Amino acid sequence: MHYTRDNMAGLLRSHDINPTHQRIEIAHALFSRQEHLSADQVMAIVNTRHSETSKATVYNTLKLFLEKGLVREVIVDPSKVFFDPNTSPHHHIYEVDTGKLSDIDAEHVQISGLPPLPTGMVTEGIDLIVRVRRAS
Amino acid sequence: MHYTRDNMAGLLRSHDINPTHQRIEIAHALFSRQEHLSADQVMAIVNTRHSETSKATVYNTLKLFLEKGLVREVIVDPSKVFFDPNTSPHHHIYEVDTGKLSDIDAEHVQISGLPPLPTGMVTEGIDLIVRVRRAS
DNA sequence: ACAGCAATCTGGACTTTGTCTAATATCCGG
DNA sequence: CCGGATATTAGACAAAGTCCAGATTGCTGT
Ligand SMILES: [Mn+2]
Ligand SMILES: [Mn+2]
Ligand SMILES: [Zn+2]
Ligand SMILES: [Zn+2]
């Protein structure tokens, strides 16, 4: 699949999001790269040519995408949140030195032996993060 | 085991940490409660009676404890880091509504099917977080 | 075309978490 | 007690994120 700006409007609509110029640009930044980006990185990408999207809109839009299930949040770095255009179930490898974050397909990963949840609680998601560094 | 201020000095020494009044208080805050605390919470606990430990010292000390392996860091909340006096291998349940964080013993949890690491990389740790919320 | 209206976007002030620094205080061996 | 190393401190600073009141945009009905 190839993500063009034109596809973005349909993608947004299919997630019940009114497609505006700013939202299309932000979605395009995430989906054309298929990378994990921080709000700051999105901000920089969207405003490379000329300043056209404010910080408030970047944060508002990313939060909206999150609520609508268009992207997922990955919390691995204590100083910033990453936004992930890949919403299929998967896990992450985090290189602590470089900050590089990559996907692990969940298909072949098996997690067993988890205790039962406290009553009245439902699982919202299971995050598995493998923290790695260069062998010293 | 019962963690008193008096055994804190020995605990610190056994981790190659020079026991000072402030360090003992901070260690005592964490180990007597056996809870996951943020820097802010540690700060509040340590200064309840009267102000006696600065913000800089709280942060410096928690970082020192981390380096020396006395505590572990848990990154689940995008807005703050938790410090965990339990350094034995274990996982976490995070209640997203309340922010409550509790331990899952790693003993019976089995994770299989992880892909091989990129060459020259070693695992520093595997964090498994089960995000739960009240059933709606 | 145009007024009215809701939805969206914006700059900038503000808050929170955490870092840094230069000065001071404490500790310890000789 | 002296001198140096180690530890603590207040407060300035930085970065990530939130908030708000005003401006823009894009309709819809006339
Ligand atoms: Mn443009
Ligand atoms: Mn005291
Ligand atoms: Zn991912
Ligand atoms: Zn724990």
**Residue pLDDT, tens place only, A89-106:** 999 999 998 899 999 999
Q: Quick one: pLDDT at residue B4?
A: 92
Rounded distance between C-alpha atoms, residue A25 and residue A41, angstroms: 13
B4 three-class SS? coil
Mean pLDDT of B3-25: 95
Mean pLDDT of chain B: 95
* Cβ proximity of B118 and A132 under 8 Å: yes
Q: Which residue segments constitute the domains of chain B, with CATH numbers given?
A: 5-83 (1.10.10.10)
Mean pLDDT of B61-72: 97
Q: Does pLDDT of B45 surpass 90? A: yes
- Cβ distance of A96 and B123 shorter than 8 Å: no
Measured between beta carbons, the chain B residues lying within 8 angstroms of A82 are none
A93 three-class SS? strand
User: What's the longest Cα–Cα distance across chain B?
Assistant: 52
Over the stretch A34-93, which tens digit does the pLDDT of each residue have? 999 999 999 999 999 888 899 999 999 999 999 999 999 999 999 999 999 999 999 999
Please give the radius of gyration of chain A, using alpha carbons only, rounded to the nearest integer.
Answer: 17
Mean pLDDT of B78-107: 94
B135: which 2 tokens?
């059933």
Residues in contact with B112: Cβ distance below 8 Å, sequence separation at least 6, in sequence order: A109, A110, A112
Q: Quick one: pLDDT at residue A5?
A: 92
Q: Quick one: pLDDT at residue A50?
A: 86
Estimate in Å the CA B110 to C1' D12 gap, whole number: 49
Rounded distance between C-alpha atoms, residue B35 and residue B84, angstroms: 7
Band the pLDDT of B97: cuts 50, 70, 90.
Answer: confident
Q: Does pLDDT of A136 surpass 80? A: no
Q: Quick one: pLDDT at residue B101?
A: 95
- Put residue B99 in one of left, alpha, beta given phi > 0 → left and psi -120 to 50 → alpha: left
Residue B78, CB, less than 7 Å from strand D? yes
Ligand 3 center–CA B66 separation, angstroms? 27
Q: Quick one: pLDDT at residue A126?
A: 94
CA angle A115, A81, B100 (to 5 degrees): 35
Those of residues 73-92 in A touching chain B at CB distance below 8 A are: 73, 75-78, 81
Residue A33, CB, less than 7 Å from strand D? no
- Cβ distance of A109 and B108 shorter than 8 Å: no
Smallest-distance ligand from the CA of A49: 1
Please give the radius of gyration of chain B, using alpha carbons only, rounded to the nearest integer.
Answer: 17
Shortest CA distance to B80 belongs to which of B38, B41, B44, B45? Answer: B38
User: Using CA of residue A62, residue A66, residue A70, residue A72, what is the dihedral sign?
Assistant: positive
Q: Is B116 on the interface with A (CB under 8 A)?
A: no
The alpha carbon torsion through B53, B54, B56, B59 (nearest 10 deg) reads 40
Nucleotide nearest to B51 (CA to C1'): D9
Burial environment of residue B13 by CB neighbours within 10 A (0 to 12, 13 to 18, 19 or more): exposed
Band the pLDDT of B47: cuts 50, 70, 90.
Answer: very high
Model confidence, pTM: 0.93
Q: Does pLDDT of A1 surpass 80? A: no
